Chains A and B, each alone.
Chain A
Amino acid sequence: MRLRGQSEGARAAVLALPPFLYAVLLLAVPLVAIVAISFMTQDGLVIDPTPSLANYREALTSPIYIWGNATRWGTLPVSLYVAAMVTLVTVVLAFPMAYFISFYVAPSRKSLWLFLITIPFWTSYLVRIFLWKVVLGFNGVINTALMGLGLIREPLEALLYNLSSVIVALSHSYVVFAILPIYVALEKIDRSLLEASQDLGETAFATFLRVTLPLAMPGVVGAVLIIFIPVIGDYVTPELMLGAGGRLMSNLIQAQFLGLNNWPLGSALAIVTMIVVGVIALLFLLLMRRWLRARG
């Protein structure tokens, strides 16, 4: 009864405090810590705390990370290309699925379909990536099937250990994250708008292009953000799918922490990557907003 006099807003604030403080202590403070350590330098086994820009100089000038050289691209542009392709593939794969569930599945069966598409996402991430090696490998499922059908004589080696295999495996992992936001956006569309458009003489296809698609865009934007950013950080998929020698940005960061033991450089690489990814995501958001506004 003591608390009964307090306003509901004040009580809500008190309740929000434990999860917020947890996130401050275990997320905000650590993020500040890697910013701090990125300005220090690794000196043998110890870290020299004298502030220095050496790691950023290394990250921004070495051909390995951004610029590349005459024979190969820098790792960050390649990573961005992979993330962009994965985003594109997942959104294109997801849209018809989300459209189908929203417009053609009976309301009582919608949650069953959503449940069906989310199950693979929850099941053993590591084993799922590993299975793509089994599917695409030299003696893998696809090669065996193609040889069995007599379409090829020798197993194709080009299936595995290249960027395409990374994109396939990552798209498989992330496609659910595209289906769900697009589905939510489609569900919000007032169905009478579509009827109005067709009553006014638009064809079904024109209605889709001029009414449904623009209204679904917030879902697409959500999907792009929730896929593009985490995909950049996925180092397990490239490690397993590229084999020895192939490395993306996430692998270089991971190696600085778990093998080469240069945490300050690893932190600087992570920060540079996150800033580049963040700026790209922000530009994308602004462009989409302007485009949607221009259409009214």
Chain B
Amino acid sequence: MKGWPFRVYAVLLLAFLYGPILLLPIFAFNDGAIIAFPLSGFSTRWFEALWETDALWQAARNSLLIAAFTAVLATLLGVFAARSGSMAGFRGKGLMLGFVMLPLVLPEIVIAVALLVVIRQALGLDLANWTVVLAHTVITVPFSIAILNGAFASLDPSLEEAAMDLGESRWGAFRLVTLPLVAPGIVSSLLISFIISLDDFVIAQFLTGANPTLPVYIYGLTRFVDALPLIMAMGTILVTLSITLLVIAEWFRRRGLARAGVASTGGFL
């Protein structure tokens, strides 16, 4: 087969990428308290121990709440930006939308300490879940925009014009024509923002209030040797959850592109 050395290389690189993650379930279902080979037999006792840890449930509840608010806020801002990006240019457009994308190349620690200084020092406010939501939104908006740009860019503008020619208001045309077409992109953006927020540790460590988020709680556990199997079990659950959400997000994103593609050719017919 043509290019087989590349194919072999690609499979090896995938193995490198997935290798560590595949260790998670191996040790999570291992009976031994030490994370090392040889394995000592199948057990679900670490998952049972997780189930009975109240602090963990509290942290999980916090994280899910923060992730949900972040997803909605980031996607809302992302829709504004992506819609603006797909329309005619104006003076300073590249600068305005480019600045919103800046967090992609800024180290997270810089964003975290900068917000910490403003919230605690300049405003004198207490850290809480909402401070994490605001910061997570800063880092997730660029991803939301990138996803939604794809959805908006493939739209045919003549569809909305047709709706307005038929008597719809601008908002009505957007709501009834554009929104359904970009809806899969919106779902995809919601899910990706949710995953980024759920997974983030750096910003949460700086800006979390009295109740830690899940990654901050897990990080605390890494200091205790006897908690290592619990981390493996927790990691297994989180990775499974992320992959499930990712597959759904990808499915929606593709369906969105397909739908927009069909719509634009349909317009000509």
Contact = CB atoms under 8 A, between A and B. Distances in A.
Given A19-B81, A235-B109, A37 B121 contact: yes
A217 interface: no
Given A120-B17, A123-B243, A137-B36, 9 more contacts: A26-B137, A126-B218, A127-B231, A127-B238, A229-B106, A230-B107, A250-B107, A274-B107, A274-B110
A257 B206 contact: yes
B179 to A, nearest CB: 14
Interface of B: 2-3, 6-7, 9-10, 13-14, 16-21, 23-24, 27, 34-38, 77-78, 80-81, 83-85, 87-90, 92-93, 96-97, 99-100, 102-111, 113-118, 121-122, 134-135, 137-138, 141, 145, 164, 169-170, 192, 195-196, 199-202, 205-206, 215, 218-219, 222, 231, 234-235, 238-239, 242-243, 246, 250, 254
A13 interface: yes
B111 A144 contact: no
A130 interface: yes
A265 to B, nearest CB: 12
A270 B6 contact: no
B24 A127 contact: yes
Contacts of B6: 96, 99-100, 103-104
Given A19-B100, A234-B107, A33 B37 contact: no
Contacts of A122: 192, 195-196, 199, 242, 246
Interface string A72-110: 000000000000000000000100110111011000000
Nearest to A37: B117
A26 B88 contact: no
Interface of A: 1, 3-4, 7-13, 15-20, 22-24, 26-31, 33-34, 37, 47, 93, 96-97, 99-101, 103-104, 111, 113, 115-117, 119-120, 122-128, 130-132, 134-135, 137, 139-141, 144, 148, 172, 175-176, 225-226, 229-230, 232-236, 240, 250, 253-254, 257-258, 263, 266-267, 270, 274
A10 to B, nearest CB: 7
Contacts of A31: 110, 114
A111 to B, nearest CB: 7
B20 A27 contact: no
Contacts of B88: 7-9, 12
A116 B85 CA distance: 29
A234 B231 CA distance: 21
A27 B138 contact: yes
A124 B242 contact: yes
A236 B201 contact: yes
B7 A100 contact: yes
10 contacts: A4-B164, A7-B88, A23-B99, A23-B138, A33-B121, A120-B21, A230-B107, A233-B110, A250-B109, A253-B109
A7 B199 CA distance: 42
A30 to B, nearest CB: 3
Nearest to B77: A19
A24 to B, nearest CB: 8
Nearest 3 A-B pairs (CB), nearest first?
A233-B107, A30-B114, A139-B36
Contacts of B24: 127, 131
Contacts of B254: 111
A10 B243 CA distance: 41
Contact of B77 (A18, A125, A134): A18
